Chain A
């Protein structure tokens, strides 16, 4: 009886809230490990219970070290991985039920900006062919229509005159230009969501800010939702309203960017922030505090809190026994850490 009224209440709340563009519910992405090509040998739990909502026009950064599962999370959102359990709801589609053409149609609606712009562009295609491909695939049969769209997008990513670039091969472009082409390709079909996987980490420092500003401008102009995936906290503030900190397949801290940067709650977030490079002469002789140890194995994550073997503030008997639940010590600042149990 009580649960029923509660659900009814929750439904009402949902109606009142702004419609979420992307909803992720208890997402698990596990890869099966096989022994000698058959026999089961456990799972790699790349994403292990992630839930969040993303409103239309919202930007969010997913931060975490290599191997924490950011890429698996991203690929699942893009529809490249199939969720083991849980679901991704995007713009009215539920990923778990999709197959074949449905899955391909789902993928049409999300733009994808990759890390290495040179690797992301087929080296044997010209820029024009590269940009035509997504349009051909989504069924734009008229060549003039395709070209018109391409010219428009090329203008938006500040590559004009487009005619100069269209006949070129990727290797004839600079790193920044290549990344502009990648962004243009992601923008071609007017997606509502862009997933950017470390879009500037392979670029020269001088080009980084330019590209980030470009993405920012596009985001504002089109009201895009952006999931920005990075391990580099120094670029996050340019871009995202919220930050999700990911560790060993789970989101351990979710809050507005400013709050995370100014007042990190989770010990791991604190350590991550402390490790962020900051070009300051005074730092030349100091050593940064880096969390000891290595990221945990995703096959056999530590019992209890996954960070406890590396955590200086771990509470014996609690952190190594029970998995932390999400607490909300400040409003809209969620953290999965027993330190904030009330």
Chain B
């Protein structure tokens, strides 16, 4: 126990180890944060959700913070609605049960790039007579543009860019740029815009609510993908998945490899022969291909893949490396002494052989974590990721299949890739430092 404490103390001498610990701890904090703020079911619902969950977000939007680095500022997205008071709605009763509703939303637009789209979602309450809506657009230079007049259904979606009448009226194929431009110069107009909505209701008890969704060019901290999903969800949830996969696979593989190597070496004979032959066969089997086969024909569940990974990684070169060291330890005097005072074979394996190897195990275990994190990501990129879980690899897969790099959506690839690299680097640095401390051959004292 004391030795452990001393080793940890020595760990802080190495800056790389400190950085590695910081990275690992940060990942743990992120993982816990992700699991607390977005519970598993919610994460799955969001990740699997389509247009009905994510209609408020633009497609392919880089994160909002890229505006800090670009000379052209991209418009940010927002959505406002009457139900929560972010659009103020006034209803004035009229004669014979009729009433009028008026709502307006004013916002500043000081960006250099036109937004993607503006959409209005109406919900109307009525029994027979449809309410009637008219919308107007006020520009910073004082023009007032009539957008549309329409009778609305209980649920009505109105996309400004799709309105053919509006296109004719604006004499432009692209409605959105036309709404944000000076009609004479065709240049973008910065300033305060206002959307005015007035509704006429012809029944008592009739009501209209409206939601105004503004799809800018950038969104949130992480941006969005092809199905408008906020990438922060898979980025956050990728951390616990990657950590769990990496740590379980690494721990399982290292510990099982060592125990099997120790048992084989100690008992010798056919046990050892069997383990060695299995290892030799397994060494020539293509690891990734087998995983791809399992993923294609059997199951893509992360637990199945994890189990297969551990099983296939036990009987590898490291079993031979451990065996070589155990052979040496097996002949050592203290093992002979232990036999002489009557220690059973099991006790010798678990109390005398394996503890001797723990200094070798710990650095190897930590250094192996990135391998398995990358493996999980690689499988996801190959389309064999868990179909349910949001992971970093899945983001890269989506980005890849949507041609992110050709279309310039670098954020989409870089965000998960950077996280993967930081994770790998963190564990690798920690592993190297642990190796220096625990491996007597590298000890600089």
**A169 and B229 alpha carbons, distance in the complex (Å):** 58
B355→A137 contact, CB < 8 A: no
B342→A112 contact, CB < 8 A: no
Give chain A nearest CB distance to B310 CB in angstroms: 27
Q: Pick 20 A–B contacts, CB within 8 A, sort by A.
A: A79-B340, A80-B340, A107-B340, A108-B342, A110-B340, A112-B337, A112-B341, A115-B333, A119-B332, A119-B333, A120-B333, A120-B336, A122-B338, A123-B356, A124-B356, A133-B351, A137-B341, A167-B2, A185-B337, A185-B341
Per-residue interface assignment for chain A, residues 76 to 120, with 1 indicating a CB less than 8 Å from any chain B CB and 0 otherwise? 001110000000000000000000000011011010101110011
Contacts A119-B332, A124-B356; A108 near B341 (Cβ below 8 A): yes
B337→A137 contact, CB < 8 A: no
Residues A120-153 near B (CB distance < 8 A): 120-125, 133-134, 137-138
How many residues on chain B are close to A (CB under 8 Å)? 20
Name which of A79, A104, A108, A169 has the most chain B CB atoms within 10 A of its CB: A104
Name which of B334, B343, B358 has the most chain A CB atoms within 10 A of its CB: B334
B132 at the interface (CB under 8 A from A): no
Within 8 Å by CB of A122, from B2, B340, B344, B356, lies B356
Known contacts A120-B333, A137-B341; 18 additional CB pairs below 8 A are A78-B340, A80-B339, A108-B341, A112-B337, A112-B340, A114-B336, A116-B333, A120-B336, A122-B355, A122-B356, A123-B356, A125-B355, A133-B341, A133-B351, A134-B342, A137-B344, A138-B341, A138-B342
Closest residue on chain B to residue A135 by CB atoms: B341
Per-residue interface assignment for chain A, residues 161 to 192, with 1 indicating a CB less than 8 Å from any chain B CB and 0 otherwise? 00000010100000000000010010001000
B409 at the interface (CB under 8 A from A): no
Chain B residue numbers with a CB within 8 Å of A185 are 337, 341
Residues A195-232 near B (CB distance < 8 A): none
Name which of A114, A122, A125, A134 has the most chain B CB atoms within 10 A of its CB: A122
Chain A residue numbers with a CB within 8 Å of B339 are 80, 107
**A114 and B356 alpha carbons, distance in the complex (Å):** 20
Closest residue on chain A to residue B334 by CB atoms: A122
Chain A residue numbers with a CB within 8 Å of B333 are 114-116, 119-120
Chain B residue numbers with a CB within 8 Å of A125 are 355
Chain B residue numbers with a CB within 8 Å of A116 are 333
A121→B342 contact, CB < 8 A: no
Within 8 Å by CB of A104, from B3, B336, B342, B355, lies B342
**A312 and B273 alpha carbons, distance in the complex (Å):** 50
Give chain A nearest CB distance to B275 CB in angstroms: 16
Chain B residue numbers with a CB within 8 Å of A138 are 341-342
Give chain A nearest CB distance to B279 CB in angstroms: 17
Closest residue on chain B to residue A191 by CB atoms: B341
A137→B334 contact, CB < 8 A: no
How many residues on chain A are close to B (CB under 8 Å)? 29
Chain A residue numbers with a CB within 8 Å of B3 are 169
Within 8 Å by CB of B337, from A79, A114, A169, A189, lies A114
Closest residue on chain B to residue A182 by CB atoms: B337
Contacts A122-B352, A124-B355, A124-B356; A134 near B336 (Cβ below 8 A): no
**A218 and B333 alpha carbons, distance in the complex (Å):** 23
Give chain B nearest CB distance to A99 CB in angstroms: 13
B342→A107 contact, CB < 8 A: yes
Per-residue interface assignment for chain A, residues 24 to 37, with 1 indicating a CB less than 8 Å from any chain B CB and 0 otherwise? 00000000000000
**A80 and B2 alpha carbons, distance in the complex (Å):** 34
B144 at the interface (CB under 8 A from A): no
Chain B residue numbers with a CB within 8 Å of A75 are 336
Closest residue on chain B to residue A134 by CB atoms: B341
Chain B residue numbers with a CB within 8 Å of A133 are 338, 341, 343, 351
Closest residue on chain A to residue B347 by CB atoms: A137
B340→A119 contact, CB < 8 A: no
Residues B306-362 near A (CB distance < 8 A): 332-334, 336-344, 347, 351-352, 355-356, 358
Closest residue on chain A to residue B338 by CB atoms: A133
B342→A105 contact, CB < 8 A: yes
**A115 and B332 alpha carbons, distance in the complex (Å):** 12
Give chain B nearest CB distance to A31 CB in angstroms: 14
**A168 and B338 alpha carbons, distance in the complex (Å):** 19
Closest residue on chain B to residue A195 by CB atoms: B340
Chain A residue numbers with a CB within 8 Å of B356 are 122-124
Chain A residue numbers with a CB within 8 Å of B347 are 137
Per-residue interface assignment for chain B, residues 137 to 175, with 1 indicating a CB less than 8 Å from any chain A CB and 0 otherwise? 000000000000000000000000000000000000000
Closest residue on chain A to residue B351 by CB atoms: A133
**A116 and B333 alpha carbons, distance in the complex (Å):** 8
B334→A107 contact, CB < 8 A: no
**A177 and B334 alpha carbons, distance in the complex (Å):** 16
Within 8 Å by CB of A137, from B332, B343, B358, lies B343
Name which of A75, A121, A133, A134 has the most chain B CB atoms within 10 A of its CB: A133
**A182 and B336 alpha carbons, distance in the complex (Å):** 13
Closest residue on chain B to residue A110 by CB atoms: B340
4 shortest interchain CB distances as A-B pairs: A119-B333, A112-B340, A134-B341, A107-B342
Name which of B336, B339, B340, B347 has the most chain A CB atoms within 10 A of its CB: B340
**A121 and B351 alpha carbons, distance in the complex (Å):** 13
**A165 and B167 alpha carbons, distance in the complex (Å):** 93
**A71 and B341 alpha carbons, distance in the complex (Å):** 17
Chain A residue numbers with a CB within 8 Å of B332 are 119
Chain A residue numbers with a CB within 8 Å of B2 are 167
**A195 and B390 alpha carbons, distance in the complex (Å):** 65
**A134 and B352 alpha carbons, distance in the complex (Å):** 13
Name which of B338, B339, B341 has the most chain A CB atoms within 10 A of its CB: B341
**A80 and B340 alpha carbons, distance in the complex (Å):** 7
